[in-house]
Amino acid sequence: MIFSYQMEYNLVYCNLLEHFLLHCKIWDNSANPLQVDVGQNGAQILLNELEQIHFANTWRYQNYKRKAAQTIFFQKKSFFRCRRFFIVLQIIKS
């Protein structure tokens, strides 16, 4: 069964950095204790990927990830701001 919000005309593209920020916001704003893991765990997985792109540059050797990495590689200021937000959430929520 497909819901209306799953139809392609309702989908919105976001890059890896925006997806990471979305998970951080879910983690920060969720009043449902069952959704905390969705935000926190999703953000942690995406942060690991973002750190690989920004610190290790491993994306150069992975063709299937190259375009996604190139889209955000030069957004370093935004990356570090989002990363700082994640670290603050870890401190506040623990």
In which element (H, E) is residue 85 found? helix 76-93
Total-model pTM: 0.80
Report which of 22, 78, 83 is spatially closest to residue 51, judged by C-alpha positions. 83
Torsion of CA 21, 27, 31, 32, to 10 degrees: 120
pLDDT in tens, the chain (94 residues): 677 767 777 777 889 999 999 999 988 988 777 666 888 999 999 999 999 888 887 766 677 788 888 888 899 999 999 999 999 999 998 7
Give the chain's radius of gyration (CA, Å).
Answer: 15
Predicted confidence at residue 60, as pLDDT, reads: 67
CA dist., res. 82 & res. 88, Å (int) = 10
The phi and psi torsions of 35 (rounded to 5 degrees) equal -90, -10
What's the pLDDT at 35? Answer: 65
Domain boundaries, the chain: 13-93
